[in-house]
Chain A
Amino acid sequence: MNKKFPYRRFLEVIPGGISWGLIIALVVLAFFKPVACAIFIIVFDFYWIIRSTYLTMLLVLARHRLSSEKDKDWLKACQALKPQGKWEKLYQLVLFPIYNEGLDVLRPSLEALKKSHYPKDKIIVVLTFEERNLRSREHALKLEKEFGDIFFACVSTLHPDGLPGESRTKGANATWGARFARKLIDEKGIDYASVIISCFDADTCVEPEYFGCLSHSFLTLDKPHQASYQPMPVYNNNIWQAPSFARIVEISGSFCQMIESMRLEKFVTFSSHSMSFKTLVEIDYWPVDMISDDSVIYWKAFLFYNGAYRVVPLYITVSMDVAYSSNIFKTMAMQYKQKRRWAWGVENFPFLVSAFLSGSRIDWPVKLRRAGQLLESHVTWAVWAVILVLIGPLPLLFGGNFFSQMAIGYNLPKITGLLVNFTLFTSFVWIVLSRSILPPRPKGVSWFKNILMVLEWLSVPFIILVLGSTPALDAQTRLLLGKYMEFNPTQKGIK
């Protein structure tokens, strides 16, 4: 972390400043120069059509890759690697930073580890609870008792509240847990380079072949310590029980991650992922005062290795819970807060740029490209839905008779209509793909839910309006104003 960088505050203003500047400029333009605004909107609409088509094709490719590697026996593939027996030296350290999740959430995650095909005597499980939560000690004891004998080790630790320099973030808890694990690894005399750490959200359930797939990637990769390993997150734990609104949002989130997995040059870690324990120790763990720990750990490693660090996609899923609550409004609020927390990843921009400007030895073209990609992705996130949904009609509203008599005034709604038709086409592809990643329908869930799961995609325009850009704009505005967010974990649904 480089909070002493003198222009850091200025850097914090940039993303929100650009997003708001763009929105305000377009509104002003729509009022005073409706033709110029309409031209911008048409260019943006066309760009969006091309972009969404391109991204949907990437999604199809990613989905194809996921299904083609689904039934692969990864352990067998590891065994076939030369020199033989190399994989057997690897230890899988699984870290669960736990905020206040109950046993109903934690137990299935550990059960999934138990069902893993990977040798259990090579799996170390560390549960790191927040000490400030009253039931942490009780949960820790219960889980240690239940799962202690199954793995090489299954231990828990309580992260004290209010340590100097720490904020109440998941990163602080994870760092505490990793340091605790380090002591255990030192005691056992295990080489850090032989340990792969997987930092999982508390509700993460891995597939039986996950660690085999991870090990295979690790062992076959050139410079495996200079990479993070990103599985595909799906929200299948309770997807059949979740309400439509939340289900659509989470499926879209999974799809976005699958698309990102195809864009390796800008792929960044997200949510549950794995990396070399040696690297984690070298880069001094997660930041203890930033909310976006899952992505900033990548940037820390990227800076540490002077840009020679990457994220490798693992085409195997880890399943988590859909976040939902007792009614639609609470669910919307919960989803909004979760997306805003994700969008708070914009804090990576000032972090990264200040590091770039503080003597990093990364080449300037790389610095410019990565900072530009980060800025562009967050600004696009914050403005795309606003431009498409809210600013699109403004030239027609503000332009008056003069604008409606212009050819562009007549053609603007037609071109916007073309965009809607294209969106329908891509939505159709997404519907088909969403069906393909669903787990089997559980007993007790009506068959008609299959139909509902198709029809619920009709709510996409509404979801775009509520959750498209607003959470990102909210997060950027907070950063712009210096009103820093606090970590507020999402309450997950019932399994």
Chain B
Amino acid sequence: MPVFQRIRAVLFYLSVLVFFAGLPFILSFALGYKFNPHTFKFTKTGLIFLKTQPEGASIYLNKKPVKEKTPASIQELMPGTYKIRLEMKDYYSWNSDVEVEAGKVSRMDKILLFPLRPEFKQLNQESVSSFRLYPEKGVIYYLDEDERVVFKSDTNGNNPQDIAALPENFTDIQGWDVSADQTKLFLFNPHQIAVVFLESPDIYDYSDSPVFLDYPKSKLVQVFWHSDNYHLVVLTNRNIEVVEVRPQSPRVSLVRLKSQRIRASYDEKHDTLYFTCPLEIGQGSGCSNLYKLAISPNSYIFDMPLKNKTDE
């Protein structure tokens, strides 16, 4: 046999040997079996996978340190309960009992480690009564303690500026919000809405800012901006209506309500109001279900209840 063929034969049989000798170990590792060299037996084990945010925490398994740091997997663990402690300098340690089952992974991959000294900073100089965060736009609006001035800054408190004065004598503010285009802000108290213009209203023929919308006979519960930044969706104890942001604007009452026990959420993307409240539909009696009210510039569609509930 030529020398190259002899070398090749050796390589071939060596490869076959490595394959058949290595395969049981590869498979047993994959399936979670542990080989005991003393008893020559395979025992089915489990493993723990640990992942922390931030990474790099030291791991202690039943008080004994583990060589790896997170993220890490601790393999070949006999079934049972293990005490895990994760430690990282300047962070609170994390402790938990972890149950390990044979042939399974106990995944602890959403561990948050909190710093001992949390990073926080003061964003402004003035006392604040309330604020609104718009993370997608990177801005914060806030009212001063006396609720007379609106401030705006970025989310790190940079570039603070007082952008508008709130109407005098407008007290007992129940809520406020800035329109999506950041040109207007509404505030409301139980019987009045005030809309303050943050930019000059040169497109529409408005009277001077602010615009007041009065509700002397109803009690305002909640107000939302419509996505067109021109209409307000107003919830009172009597009805749900949509109004334009101008004095003497026509008011369209969409739904009559029986109670001020209304809970509502507004999907500005689809201009849809979700609410639950006793209401009157035609001659029927009131019932308190979850409703969906589509509000578009062209039509108002009052959908069937999303979830039926027995009338109390």
A→B interface (CB under 8 Å): 38-39, 42-43, 46-47, 50-51, 53-54, 57-58, 61, 65, 262-264, 404-412, 415
Contact = CB atoms under 8 A, between A and B. Distances in A.
Interface string B99-131: 000011101000000000000000000000000
Contacts of B47: 407, 410
A43 B27 contact: yes
Contacts of B49: 410
B15 A42 contact: no
17 contacts: A42-B26, A43-B27, A50-B19, A53-B15, A54-B12, A61-B4, A61-B7, A65-B4, A262-B8, A264-B5, A404-B105, A404-B107, A407-B30, A407-B105, A409-B105, A411-B32, A415-B26
A221 to B, nearest CB: 12
Nearest to B29: A411
Nearest to B14: A54
Interface in B174-208: none
A407 B31 contact: yes
By secondary structure, the B interface counts as helix
A46 B5 CA distance: 25
B73 interface: yes
Contacts of B19: 46-47, 50
Contacts of A263: 8
B78 to A, nearest CB: 13
Contacts of B7: 61
B46 interface: yes
Given A262-B8, A407-B47, 17 more contacts: A46-B22, A50-B15, A50-B19, A54-B11, A54-B15, A58-B11, A61-B4, A61-B7, A262-B4, A262-B5, A263-B8, A406-B104, A406-B105, A408-B30, A408-B31, A410-B47, A411-B31
A65 B4 CA distance: 9
Contacts of A407: 30-32, 45-47, 103-105
Interface string B128-171: 00000000000000000000000000000000000000000000
Contact of A50 (B8, B18, B31, B104): B18
B281 interface: no
B23 interface: yes
Contacts of B18: 50
B27 A39 contact: yes
Contacts of B46: 407
B25 to A, nearest CB: 10
B12 to A, nearest CB: 7
Contacts of A53: 15
A38 B45 CA distance: 18
A42 B30 contact: yes
Interface in B214-245: none
Nearest to A47: B19
Given A50-B19, A58-B11, A405 B30 contact: no
Interface residues of B, number: 26
8 cross-chain pairs, A with B, having the tightest CB-CB distances, nearest first:
A407-B32, A54-B15, A410-B105, A411-B30, A50-B19, A408-B30, A50-B15, A42-B30
Contact of B30 (A39, A47, A58, A262): A39
Contacts of B103: 406-408
Contacts of A58: 8, 11
Nearest to B106: A405
Nearest to A407: B32
A410 B73 CA distance: 10
Interface centre among B45, B73, B104 (most CB of A within 10 A): B104
Contacts of B29: 411
Interface centre among A404, A408, A409 (most CB of B within 10 A): A408
A220 to B, nearest CB: 12
A46 B4 contact: no
A404 B107 CA distance: 9
Contacts of B12: 54
Contacts of A61: 4, 7-8
Interface in B3-59: 4-5, 7-8, 11-12, 15, 18-19, 22-23, 26-27, 29-32, 45-47, 49
Nearest to A42: B30
A95 to B, nearest CB: 30
A408 B5 CA distance: 39
Contacts of B4: 61, 65, 262
Contacts of B73: 410
B295 to A, nearest CB: 40
Nearest to B44: A407
B109 to A, nearest CB: 11
Contact of A38 (B26, B30, B104): B30
Interface centre among A47, A410, A415 (most CB of B within 10 A): A410
B70 to A, nearest CB: 15
Nearest to A54: B15
Contacts of A406: 32, 103-105
Contacts of A38: 30
A267 to B, nearest CB: 11
A47 B103 CA distance: 24
B80 to A, nearest CB: 15
A235 B115 CA distance: 62
B23 to A, nearest CB: 6
A422 to B, nearest CB: 12
Nearest to A410: B105
B27 A42 contact: yes
B221 to A, nearest CB: 43
Given A262-B8, A407-B46, A46 B105 contact: no
A46 B28 CA distance: 13
A168 to B, nearest CB: 40
Nearest to B16: A50
Contacts of B5: 262, 264
Contacts of B27: 39, 42-43
A65 B7 CA distance: 12
B26 to A, nearest CB: 5
A57 B11 contact: yes
A47 B107 CA distance: 30
Contacts of B23: 43, 46
A51 B15 contact: yes
A421 to B, nearest CB: 14
Nearest to B2: A264
A44 to B, nearest CB: 11
Contacts of B30: 38-39, 42, 407-408, 411-412, 415
A53 B30 CA distance: 22
A405 B15 contact: no
A46 B23 CA distance: 7
Interface string B265-281: 00000000000000000
